[in-house]
Amino acid sequence: MVHSWPLDNEKQLLKAYYAGKRMESPNGGFLILLGVRALEGGVAIAIFECSASSLRYEMEIPKATRTERKQVRDALDEGDDPDCPRHGEGARLVRAGKDLVCPACGVAYARA
């Protein structure tokens, strides 16, 4: 497997990531999303490739907060199909095993 490096300014990058904006690579160029991997405990890792250097980077995507879980739970209780609290409207959560997961963040927001 290719080694991937951690990114420094994760907070700022996460914001861009959730907004679907272009993310700048530390080497110039921008980051191309290769995939998202869910880890134990609800955390996910996004893997990127730099468009300029082809180096790989990874970014940890924090697990669902209490508030986010409640937001999704409330939508479910009202009979709605919940969207991802971070990606916003139109980013429908999908069932993955026993969880409702956002395909873009890899984070589980509720039990299906």
Rounded to a whole number of angstroms, the minimum distance from the CB of residue 84 to Zn ion is 3
Sign of CA dihedral 62, 65, 68, 69: positive
Choices 5-13, 45-53, 60-68, 104-112 (CB under 5 A): range interacting with Zn ion: 104-112
Number of residues that bind Zn ion (CB under 5 A): 6
Residue type for position 2:
V
Cα–Cα distance between 97 and 3 in angstroms, integer? 29
Let me know: does 37 contact 45? Beta carbons within 8 Å.
yes
Q: Which is nearer to Zn ion, 41 or 90 (CB)?
A: 90
User: Within positions 58 to 97, which residues make up the interface with Zn ion, using CB under 5 A?
Assistant: 84, 86-87
Nearer to Zn ion, 45 or 55 (CB): 45
Q: Which is nearer to Zn ion, 57 or 87 (CB)?
A: 87
User: How is 67-101 classified by DSSP, letter by letter?
Assistant: HHHHHHHHHHHTT--PEETTTEEEEE-EEETTEEE
CB of 28 to Zn ion, least distance (A): 27
Q: Which residues bind Zn ion (CB under 5 A)?
A: 84, 86-87, 102, 104-105
